[in-house]
C-alpha cells in the first residue's frame, strides 16, 4: 500500500502522525508492504527514506519500500549511507523500487535543480546501483573498497556502515516493457516494477524476464504498480480518480491511463482487474489509492480485495503505497 505522502503535499497538510497512523492501520489490516514515492520539485512530498524509517519503527511485520526512489537526486554515497541506515531501522524489512526518472518536463527540471544530468539517466541509475552494491559488500573479506565507473568514482567504501542484510536490500527496477528494460531487470536487478496498463503486455514481458533471468541463473520478482479508486458507484469512483490524477500529474485520466495501470469501481471489480495481472504472473502488487483522502478506502480494500487477490495467487503479496 502506498503511503499518502504526495497527497499530503497536494492538500497542503504535511504531518508525520497521519502517515504513521496509516502505516499501523495497513499492518493491522493485513497488508504485506508499505511504499513511498520520491520527488523533490516535480511532484513534491516528504522524503521517502525518512518517512519509511518512521513507518518501520512504528510497525513490526510489514515490509517497507520505495516506489520508486530516484537515486540520481542524491549523491550515491549519501544514498548508500541512508539506505543502509534505513535497513537497520527496518530490521531487514526493506525493498527498494528504483527509477531513472519519469519522462516528463517537470522531472527534467527537477534533475537540473540538483545538478543531475537528465540525459544518460538510465546508465547513471545502473552505475549508482553498482556502486551501492560495491559499498554494501566492501566490508567483507576480499571485496573491493573502491569503485571506478563512467560517472562516479569512490574509495574507502568500507568506511560506510554495512546494511542489516548482507549485500543490501533487494533492488527492483521500476520500468516499462522495452527489450532493454527487460534485459536490465533480468540481469542487474532483483525485481521488476512496471505500471503497464495492458495485462497481455505484462504477461509477455514477465515471461521474457523469466527466460532471461533463467539464462543468467537469477531469480527476479515480477511486481506491479497499480492505482485503484474503490466506490460501488462507478461514476463517482471515476470522478474521484479523475480529480486525483489532475491534481497529481496535471493531466487527465485518459492521458495517464495510456501509460499507467488504473482501475475504478467496486472493490470486487478492482480485485478482478488486479487478478488479471496475478494470473499473468505478478507476485507483488504495489497499490496506490487514487484519492486525495485514501484512508476511508483502506478497510474495504483489505476486507474485499485482499482475500480475492490472494485466492488467485497464494504467493502474491499486496502492499499499499503512500504515492
53-92 b/e (C-beta count within 10 Å ≥ 16 → b): bbbbebbeebbbbbbbbbbbbbebbebbbbbbebbbbbee
- Rounded Cα distance between 278 and 282, Å, is 5
CATH number of the domain encompassing residue 311? 3.20.20.30
Q: What is the pLDDT of residues 26-48, one digit of tens each?
A: 999 999 999 999 999 999 999 99
For 296, phi and psi rounded to 5 degrees?
Answer: -60, -20
Q: What distance in Å separates the CA atoms of residue 88 and residue 68, rounded to the nearest whole number?
A: 20
pLDDT at 322: 46
Supply the range of the domain harboring residue 152. 5-320
185-202 confidence digits (pLDDT tens): 999 999 999 999 999 999
State how far the Cα of 302 lies from the Cα of 191, in Å rounded to an integer: 24
Summarize pLDDT for 236-279 with one digit per residue, the tens. 999 999 999 999 999 999 999 999 999 999 999 999 999 999 99
Judged by average pLDDT, the poorest of 4-18, 136-150, 161-175, 305-319 is: 305-319
Reading the block at residue 185, the C-alpha cell is 531487470
Q: How far is CA 9 from the centre of its chain?
A: 18
Please give the tally of structural domains in the chain: 1
Alpha-carbon distance values, 201 to 69, 87, 228, 259 (Å): 24, 34, 19, 12
* Beta-sheet pairing, 261-265 with 221-230: parallel
Q: What is the mean pLDDT of the chain?
A: 96
Amino acid at each position: 500500500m502506498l503511503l499518502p505522502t504526495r497527497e499530503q503535499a497536494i492538500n497542503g497538510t504535511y504531518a508525520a502522525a497521519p502517515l504513521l497512523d496509516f502505516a499501523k492501520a495497513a499492518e493491522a489490516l493485513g497488508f504485506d508492504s508499505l511504499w513511498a514515492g520520491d520527488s523533490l520539485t516535480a511532484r513534491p512530498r516528504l522524503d521517502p527514506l525518512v518517512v519509511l524509517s518512521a513507518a518501520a519503527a512504528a510497525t513490526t511485520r510489514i515490509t517497507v519500500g520505495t516506489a520508486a526512489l530516484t537515486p540520481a537526486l542524491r549523491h550515491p554515497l549519501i544514498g548508500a549511507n541512508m539506505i543502509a541506515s534505513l535497513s537497520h531501522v527496518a530490521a531487514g524489512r526493506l525493498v527498494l523500487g528504483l527509477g531513472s526518472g519519469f519522462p516528463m518536463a517537470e522531472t527534467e527540471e527537477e534533475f537540473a535543480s540538483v545538478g543531475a544530468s537528465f540525459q544518460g539517466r538510465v546508465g547513471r541509475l545502473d552505475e549508482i546501483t553498482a556502486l551501492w552494491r560495491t559499498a554494501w559488500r566492501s566490508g567483507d573479506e576480499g571485496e573491493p573498497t573502491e569503485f571506478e565507473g563512467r560517472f562516479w568514482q569512490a574509495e574507502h567504501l568500507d568506511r560506510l556502515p554495512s546494511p542489516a542484510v548482507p549485500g543490501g536490500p533487494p533492488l527492483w527496477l521500476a520500468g516499462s516493457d522495452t527489450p532493454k528494460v527487460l534485459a536490465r531487470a533480468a540481469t542487474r536487478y532483483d525485481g521488476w516494477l512496471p505500471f503497464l496498463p495492458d495485462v497481455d503486455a505484462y504477461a509477455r514481458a514477465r515471461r521474457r524476464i523469466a527466460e532471461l533471468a533463467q539464462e543468467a541463473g537469477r531469480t527476479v520478482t515480477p511486481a506491479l504498480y497499480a492505482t485503484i479508486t474503490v466506490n460501488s458507484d462507478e461514476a463517482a469512483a471515476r470522478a474521484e480518480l479523475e480529480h486525483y490524477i489532475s491534481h497529481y500529474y496535471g493531466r487527465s485520466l485518459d492521458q495517464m491511463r495510456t501509460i499507467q495501470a488504473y482501475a475504478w469501481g467496486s472493490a470486487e471489480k478492482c480485485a478482478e482487474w488486479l487478478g488479471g495481472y496475478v494470473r499473468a504472473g505478478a507476485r507483488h502488487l504495489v497499490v496506490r489509492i487514487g484519492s486525495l483522502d485514501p484512508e476511508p478506502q483502506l478497510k474495504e480494500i483489505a476486507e474485499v480485495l485482499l482475500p480475492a487477490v490472494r485466492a488467485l495467487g497464494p504467493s502474491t503479496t499486496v502492499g499499499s503505497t503512500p504515492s
